[in-house]
Structure 1
């Protein structure tokens, strides 16, 4: 904004000093004026006027070359480089001018400092910015200052799960987002390509994506609960799991299949699943929660709460500062707060790159005939609510028939799902995980295969040699009987 007209000055000086305007009588108060300008840069922008009294009276001042040099030198003391517009408005019938310093909003460059200090503006008061707010803005700036990009000298490649890394690479190659030669590269080279390793040091994003030992990352946590009824008064199931994004995503989907009604049709080795809430909508919501959450808060987490009438998925963080709910639900570009994490998830085909996640969730819910998901935020967390028709015991809705069919009422849906997928086939571990779209081996073994074998429903071909190179699994007679009763 270039202010050269005295009428523009009168308009600016006609109101009270507030969050976006400051009056200074002369440039003898240049230091205080620049501190306020720094506060404007750290907010929504604003204007400092020199030659205007506190009461808004326009007095002006004489402007020399020395005055202009002092202003230019002061502007150079902002870090990072700030775009400041300097205007001089002549006062009619005098040799005096009003100097206007205008700072436009520069949200993605914050925080700014003047002479090494950051300032903030609250109403008409300029003050030194608290350290915690400065750190928060610094992480929001992204690049080398973002939490995900900060190196962790104690994190070693041995702390990462190589199988998950290779799985991500294979997925990226299969979808054409990574060149086929990537699979032949060493793990350090792959991590460098993923922007997770620099100068021999792994960053925080590496732990979030592929970490196996996450003792230093309490925020890599998933909370899961199934409540009886529509309130939090009584638990049916309550779990907590810590791990990397891929492991937590598998755990989340397992929890949904355990507690939501399921129906579907098997064709060959593959099955089209129909949960009370569409599988793709829940998966997309979880991926977004893990990708876009605020990881710099150690106490943060992702939470899943299942009630009789709804599912709520919550994560720490907030929508982008300029993202309204209307813009969120309409067409919008993707602005991930965690660029490194988002890039790896995109290359491994988990994440869409064009902001289509929300529209996908809405489309899936409409296709299933349930209400659109609801999106909420309170500035520190985001939660999505999926509503579905309540089902009473033994009386499933026509829209959402239960898959347990209650012949095997003692078996969780996750086990029944595995039984139905195996059917008449004999499958390897890799084949079963592929059919279920699961990537985390430990999660599959702990929540699906091992419980099915312990229940006597699934058996290995080589029971005395669990690690036999040709090991495969099939249904026992009990498992086949269960499958027949459910059809």
Structure 2
């Protein structure tokens, strides 16, 4: 819309101040005028005129070089950068002019901010935009960005897993990323400090991180399959698990240990175990999938597919549009799609570092002599392929397939539970807290049952496995392993 003469100005004035027109007497009110212009950008566009009284009388104003500099500086404070049409309409028989700012509708670029703050227009009133409205506009602009910050008024603190929250806190304290005083704070305070609770309301990130039986989040889903051969024609195992990130991470790693081969080599008196693909590489890939995926589609999920020759881990999302693959494969700055979720995972030491996940995966694969992982993105999905042989390349392997209920070697998990119990007698809850596990099923399947089968750990009530005071201690054989 070109406003080149006084007739157009008069036509706009005749509409009076409304949702798309604002009058200001002089650029002494430039700040308020820019806030209104920002509000117009967040709506259907509009016009701000300087040199017109609030009654609609044209009075004009002097326009100096200083005035033009101040206008240019003010417009540069709009974010994101956008086109503003500026007109200086002369008044007949006068040195004064009407200064007109006009912006068209820019719905694809909303929300806009002026000096870091967003505004909205309701009828003829400009006001600060509420956080929830800002988040909604942000999601519309970026597809998924901002979904994690959207408040869910139906989500309650009792819908969250307190054990998962406190487990994250303990991990953060152990890793030096949270102060020790955090452990003594109540749950609402902890959630507020994690940016998960605002004004008594939880956001979507809280459900993704710590949700417990949250039926409104079908996208918090992990799909896992072990296929026979190298195609999807037939599978041996197929699982679907729903829950928070911590539960899904435990489940993913349990699935890898169940279906991948363990190869070992002797280093001195110790036997070192390796999965077909290094544990750290798989874990880092899964963490990145959970932290950076697009959650706004209810039907989306993370999927793990294991074949005879490869593993494919897929999640909904995209790589940053302005970041080349070459840069992604090297050290780079981290710009997570879900900064709230990523920050909590970092503080709890689940996410080890910023911008180094891909390099860690590559380094781990090279360490054991398998091909570098392949990174692909298309149609709103990212998938990583780890290729391997049935035995780990570069070692002298004695392969043990980790089928259900078969643990003939002392795995890393068994060694860990032996070290945790030591000279104590502990319940399953105490063991889970000390290890940092959130899912009891994973504790039993990967840690406790294998240790019992190998006669390293024994229950106090072996004939009553569900005894209410059931606890576990080391056997003499377990104590021998601990000493070794």
Q: TM-score range by the shorter chain?
A: 0.5 to 0.7
The DSSP-based 3-state class of the residue aligned with 2:189 is helix
TM normalised by structure 1 equals 0.65
Alignment match, 2:363: 363
Distance 1:367 1:455, change over 3 A: closer
**Matched-pair contact (CA < 8 Å) for 1:459–1:476:** no
Q: CA deviation at 1:432?
A: 6.5
1:324 counterpart residue number: 324
Q: For residues 57-136 of structure 1, what are the structure 2 equivalents within 5 Å? A: 82-84=81-83, 110-111=110-111, 136=139
The answer on whether the counterparts of 2:152 and 2:204 sit within 8 Å (CA) in structure 1 is yes
Equivalent residue for 1:263?
Answer: 263
- Whether contact under 8 Å (1:250, 1:440) holds in the other structure is yes
SS of the residue corresponding to residue 283 of structure 2 reads: helix
Match of 1:246 in 2: 246
Query: Offset at 1:286?
Result: 0.3
State the TM-score, normalizing by the size of structure 2.
0.65
Equivalent residues of 1:304, 1:312 under 8 A apart: yes
Q: Structure 2: how far apart are the matches of 1:332 and 1:420?
A: 32
Superposition RMSD on alpha carbons, in Å? 4.7
Other structure's SS at 1:209 match: helix
Note the C-alpha offset of 1:472. Answer: 1.1
User: Are 2:432 and 2:443, in contact at CA under 8 Å, matched by a contact in 1?
Assistant: no
Counterpart residue number, 2:347: 347
- Select 1:447's aligned residue among 441, 445, 467: 445
Deviation per CA, 1:97-147: give whole Å up to 9, x if none.
xxxx999xx99964559998xxxxxxxxxxxxxxxx9774445595xxx11
Question: Which residue of the partner structure matches residue 165 of structure 1?
Answer: 165
Superposition pairs for residues 83-482 of structure 1, below 5 Å?
83-84=82-83, 110-111=110-111, 136-138=139-141, 146-264=146-264, 273-389=273-389, 391=390, 396=391, 399=394, 405=400, 411-412=403-404, 415-416=407-408, 422=414, 427=421, 428=426, 429=428, 439-445=437-443, 447-448=445-446, 452=450, 459-463=458-462, 464=464, 466=466, 471-472=471-472
Distance 1:399 1:234, change over 3 A: farther
Q: Which runs of 5+ in 2 are unaligned?
A: 13-37, 43-61, 88-100, 114-118, 122-135
Deviates more, 1:426-435 or 1:442-451: 426-435
Structure 2: distance between partners of 1:262 and 1:360: 21
Is the 2:437–2:443 Cα contact (8 Å) retained in structure 1?
no
Q: What are the ranges of 5 or more consecutive residues in structure 1 without an aligned counterpart?
A: 1-22, 32-37, 43-63, 89-100, 117-132
Query: How far 1:362 moved relative to its partner?
Result: 0.8
Cα drift, residue 184 of structure 1: 0.7
Evaluate the alpha carbon distance shift between residue 382 and residue 401 of structure 1 in structure 2; reply closer, same or farther with a 3 A threshold: farther
SS at match of 1:285: helix
